[in-house]
Amino acid sequence: MKLGFIGLGVMGRPMALNLMKHGHDMAVYARRAEAARPLVDAGARPCATPADVAAASEVVFTMVTASSDLEQVVLGDHGVMDAAARGSVLVDMETIEPAVARRIALRLKEKGVDMLDAPVSGGPAAAEQASLSIMAGGDDQVFERMKPLLACLGKTIVHMGPSGAGQMTKVCNQLALLVTAQGTAEALTLARRAGLDPVRVREVMLAGLAGSRVMELFGQRMATRDFAAGIETRLYHKDLAIALAVAHELGQGLPAASLVMQHVNAAVGAGDARGDLSSILKVVERLGTPPSHGS
């Protein structure tokens, strides 16, 4: 098929390459030319605008950063909507507000263009290995048409419901991830404070009921104090803000999420916005006081 991809960062770049590995033609757009270079070197056609991508594509994928970014590349000047053909499909795969996904889907539908909101979970490693978990919202028939393409990107591909349902599922995913990361940071900080080796404590916890993918990935980085970026903290800050906003709209309290947001805010304020989420460990550590040695 003739495909397009907009947003070629740490997630989008390997995803687009995986689609190309299955023989699909690819048109690409990135705000920074160097981000598109690996795709162009592999045979993709570089485009000057999102509209140019849409004009060359039957299906356009997006992996941008925020709701406002998607609105700009789809509905803005020289956006996808300007040139998308009737019967084409937009598949947005970043994490955005569910209401924005629904609104953009309605605007595209007026022009005869279908849309799936299909955010992913798994991180850069899963993007490279085409083993992402994909949660999709949109029309059943559109999902079935797109499923072979989504299978080039992930192993778990589930249709969650109508437009916005994919993004709502991702909100729940990020909520659970972030609260679990907070618990992992607190557990490993307490272990170190008690004189234990956090690497060995994590190893034991992984084999028990505390074990999780969060403990496996982020716990390892916390235990070894490797705060280099996987997915940057600022992006989790954005995701948690969406979760809290949606919860407010629905009248649902999220006390644990509210606490985690304070710590993510603190990590960003301390200069770790572009570091890995594991940097919240340092926030927890700063809550400690020097031990009392008595008289």
Give catalytic residues, as residue numbers: 170
Residue 116's closest CA among 62, 55, 51? 62
CB distance 79 to 110 below 8 Å: no
Backbone phi and psi for residue 161, each to the nearest 5 degrees, phi listed first: 145, -160
CB distance 25 to 3 below 8 Å: yes
Q: Rounded to 5 degrees, what angle do the CA atoms 203, 205, 211 make?
A: 110
Fill in the amino acid letter for 242. I
Question: What's the token pair of residue 80?
Answer: 């996808």
d(CA 230, CA 247): 27
Q: Could you identify the residue written with the tokens 């008690």?
A: 194
d(CA 95, CA 66): 7
Cβ neighbors of 141 (< 8 A, separation 6 or more) are none
CB distance 164 to 98 below 8 Å: yes
Sign of CA dihedral 138, 141, 142, 146: positive
Q: Could you identify the residue written with the tokens 């009392």?
A: 292
SS3 210: coil
